[in-house]
């Protein structure tokens, strides 16, 4: 349980730090998020995990693209409306939130 929590929070922290320091190098940041995606799929690879990732990968950036298109905000280095790395981060985030909540609920029930 403790290992799971450390992995989940470490993944969260790593994704934030990478975005903070590599936002101006979108191709490299994209590669980093692809590698993290592969790593989290080694740990979380049930059918439902893949489903969560793909749904977030598609719907998160789609919603952001609509908001950006209508002027709600903008990204400094977009690929087309949004950065290339954003779908990967949405996918990772979906898995992170799902698995972190499951870990915390398990620890609460003990």
> Residue 90 and residue 94: Cα distance in Å, rounded?
6
Q: What is the largest CA-CA distance in the chain?
A: 47
pLDDT per residue of the chain (110 residues) written in tens, 0 to 9: 789 899 999 999 999 999 999 999 999 999 999 999 999 999 999 999 999 999 999 999 999 999 999 999 999 999 999 999 999 999 999 999 999 999 999 887 76
Q: At what angle do helices 86-108 and 47-69 cross, to 10 degrees?
A: 130
pTM above 0.75, yes or no: yes
């Amino acid at each position: 349980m403790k290992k799971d929590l450390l992995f989940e929070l470490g993944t969260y922290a790593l994704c934030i730090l990478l975005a903070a320091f590599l936002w101006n190098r979108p191709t490299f940041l994209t590669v980093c998020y692809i590698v993290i995606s592969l790593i989290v799929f080694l740990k979380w690879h049930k059918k439902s995990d893949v489903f969560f990732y793909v749904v977030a990968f598609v719907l998160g950036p789609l919603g952001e693209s609509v908001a950006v298109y209508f002027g709600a905000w903008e990204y400094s280095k977009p690929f087309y409306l949004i950065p290339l790395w954003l779908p990967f981060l949405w996918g990772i985030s979906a898995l992170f939130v799902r698995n972190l909540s499951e870990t915390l609920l398990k620890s609460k029930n003990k």
